[in-house]
Amino acid sequence: MGEVILTMKGIDKSFPGVHALDHVDLEVRKGEVHALMGENGAGKSTLMKVLTGIYKKDSGTITYEGKEVEFHNTREAQDAGVVIVHQELNMLGHLTVAQNIFIGREFKKGIRIDDKKMNEEAKKLFDRMHIDIDPKETMSRLTVGKQQMCEIAKAISHKAKVIIFDEPSAALTEAEIEELFKIIRDLRDQGLGIVYISHRMDEIKVITDRVTVMRDGAYVGTLITKDSTKDDIINMMVGRVIYEDPKTQNMTPKGSPVVLKVDHLNAGKMVQDVSFELHKGEVLGFSGLMGAGRTETMRALFGADPIDSGDIYVNGKKVTIKSPEDAVKCGIGYLSEDRKRFGIVVQKTVAENTTMADLDEFCNGPFIDKKKECEVAQKFVESLATKTPGVDQLVVNLSGGNQQKVVIAKWLTRNCDILIFDEPTRGIDVGAKNEIYKLMNQLAAEGKAIIMVSSEMTEILRMSDRIVVMCEGKKTGELDISEATQENIMNMATREIN
């Protein structure tokens, strides 16, 4: 480990209603791989966005190569040598590898772009990284892993001194991760400072030198990796030993019937041979890391994406679900993680959204009975305590939590017995979160069967009666709440038990 190249001190950042970063510190040395860890929403990505100039910090200092700096956009950061390799790749699929690496700063010979030189330079970069990629290959033809290598090559070509990897392994195979680690070690040995953001505990142990842990937007501490155990790190990440009312036992009434059975479901790469059962009155938690295939499973089950194979039984009867229309007819309702895109029609009113899934019930012939519609919407506004000036309010003007309640009302209007909540509290503030939790418990008590997909460990432990854990498109475990702990869930989610 060399001298300090980058110091972030007392970084503070607030968004309306959220204190995203609370005086966070980070120090990166030359020639080290520094892990940045924390649960989803702990503020890791926000911190890196502050560093690379995407967000403006409220207070605190950033010292880079001995000078205090403030980058105003990613390009300034790049030019100074601070480069981020995103989880979502920013690539031009139709261009070649070399063209992607040098986009915006092509080599030229007169007016002609010197593709030959670009290919050679790209080749040199890959040689330096000891990987074999043809610079002339079209980007979209490469595997995701190779595409990531190209992003790294692009970062290196910027003469980077600090490279930030934002969950680089999320979409990679074992072999590709091996290759990635080799490159990261090479870069480290060449004296670069590496920031490595990841969830995967085993990776952290393998690749990093030091670990900085964040929790709820605050700095928790920094450890030397080889001197600390995995439990130390997990304890720091989770922090609180006591959750807000964690469930200690399965609350499902004994012998309650199976309402949904999914048998060997396959759909694309992200859903491989998934089977599970859901009981009446149960909250079944789906845990796993990002990209584990939980949302994909739910979308396939709901008919939003095509199914390759597998059977679905509702109330013991085998059903064919080819479209959301079929699923809704079977009494399944889906509350998407991305409400604005998939959940609500923002330009329509609360009442119109409430009846969206069950409009036939509100029609006399072709005409909509607006009075009835408003009455029912009003009823749900009251019973769910939705905060809105009225049912004729456009949904776009409601807060996240209240939008979520409108989506819940939509499915309750349809009288769906199976509700799939995909990240039900994403983007919802703390107070509203509790209300949503209460509502879900109440629904389960009324006999609805609930599937809850969540990336928040506390949420899973607080809400679920049973927990299914997924990793890389496969189900890796199933636990009753009485035997579930953060640690064994995390283990299953990182595939240590298989």
Partner 1 sequence: MNQNKASKQKMGGRKVESIKQIPLVKKVGFNRIVLCIVLLLMYALFCILTGGAFLGTRRILSALNYAYFLGFLSLAVTFVIATGGIDFSIGPVMFCCALMAGFSFTVNGIPMPAALIISLVVGIAFGIFNGYLVAYWNVPSFITSIASMNIAKGLASVFTKTQSVSWPQTGADGGWFRNIVTMGGIPMGLIILLVAAVICAVILNKTKMGRYILSLGSNKEAVRLSGVNVKKWEMSAYILCGLLVGIAAIFYVAAYTTVQPGYGDQYNNEAIAGCVMGGTSMAGGLASISGTIIGVFIISLLQEGIMALGLDKNLQLIITGIIVIVAVFADVVARRRKN
Partner 2 sequence: MANKSVSNTAGTNRSFIDRMGGQKFIVLILVIVMFIFFCAMSPGFRKYTTVVSILDYSYYIALMAIGVTFPLLTAGVDLSIGTGLICYSLIGGYLIVHQGWPVGAGMLVTVLMGVIFGVINGCLVALMDLPAFLATLCTCMITRGFGAFIVGGYGIPWPTATAPGGWFRSIFKIQVGGQNIPIGFLWIILLVIVMSFVLNHTKMGRYTRAIGSNKEATRLSGVNVKFYHIMAYVICGLFAGLAAIAYSAIFATVQPGSGAGFELDAIGGAIVGGVSMSGAVGSITGTLIGVFVICLLKTGLPFIGLTANWQQIITGFVLIAAVLFDILKRKKEEGR
Residue 469's Cα: distance from chain center in Å? 15
- Does 120 bind partner 2 (CB under 8 A)? Our answer is no
Of 428, 323, 367, residue with least CA distance to 406: 428
Residue 142 interacting entry, from partner 1, partner 2, none, C-beta within 5 to 8 Å by type: partner 2
CB-based contact 42:215 (threshold 8 Å): yes
C-beta closer to partner 1: residue 261 or 340: 340
Task: Find residue 372's DSSP bridge partners.
Answer: none
Pick from 67, 112, 240, 254 the residue near partner 2 by CB under 8 A: 112
Residue 325 interacting entry, from partner 1, partner 2, none, C-beta within 5 to 8 Å by type: partner 1
Residues from 367 through 396 that contact partner 1 (CB under 8 A): 367-368, 370, 387-389, 393-394
Site size toward partner 2 (CB under 8 A) is 34
Of 6-14, 185-193, 270-278, 365-373, the window that binds partner 1 (rule: CB under 8 A) is 365-373
Residues from 141 through 200 that contact partner 2 (CB under 8 A): 141-144, 146-147, 171
Task: Find residue 193's DSSP bridge partners.
Answer: 32, 162
- Does 139 bind partner 2 (CB under 8 A)? Our answer is yes
d(CA 482, CA 478): 12
- Does 398 bind partner 1 (CB under 8 A)? Our answer is yes
Residue 408's Cα: distance from chain center in Å? 22
Hey, is 342 helix, strand or coil? helix
Pick from 133, 262, 356, 381 the residue near partner 1 by CB under 8 A: 356
CB of 330 to partner 1, least distance (A): 10
- Does 359 bind partner 1 (CB under 8 A)? Our answer is yes
Q: Which two tokens stand for residue 247?
A: 């469930």
C-beta closer to partner 2: residue 146 or 199: 146
d(CA 493, CA 470): 6
Would you give the DSSP letter of residue 256?
A: P
Question: HEC profile for 1-37?
Answer: CCCEEEEEEEEEEEECCEEEEEEEEEEEECCEEEEEE
**Rounded to a whole number, what is the largest CA-CA distance in the chain?**
79
Residue 356 interacting entry, from partner 2, partner 1, none, C-beta within 5 to 8 Å by type: partner 1
Task: Find residue 207's DSSP bridge partners.
Answer: none
CB of 472 to partner 1, least distance (A): 25
d(CA 154, CA 166): 15
Would you give the DSSP letter of residue 43?
A: S
- Does 322 bind partner 2 (CB under 8 A)? Our answer is no
Query: What interhelical angle do 144-157 and 115-128 show, nearest 10?
Result: 100
Residues from 75 through 104 that contact partner 2 (CB under 8 A): 75, 89-95, 99, 103-104
d(CA 269, CA 297): 11
CB of 308 to partner 2, least distance (A): 9
CB-based contact 20:14 (threshold 8 Å): yes
Of 31-39, 54-62, 323-331, 446-454, the window that binds partner 1 (rule: CB under 8 A) is 323-331
Residues that bind partner 2 (CB under 8 A): 74-75, 89-95, 99, 103-106, 108, 111-113, 115, 134, 137, 139-144, 146-147, 171, 268-269, 305-306
Q: Which residues bind partner 1 (CB under 8 A)?
A: 17, 302, 304, 323-325, 327-329, 334, 336, 341-348, 352, 356-357, 359-360, 363, 366-368, 370, 387-389, 393-394, 397-399, 410, 414, 429, 431
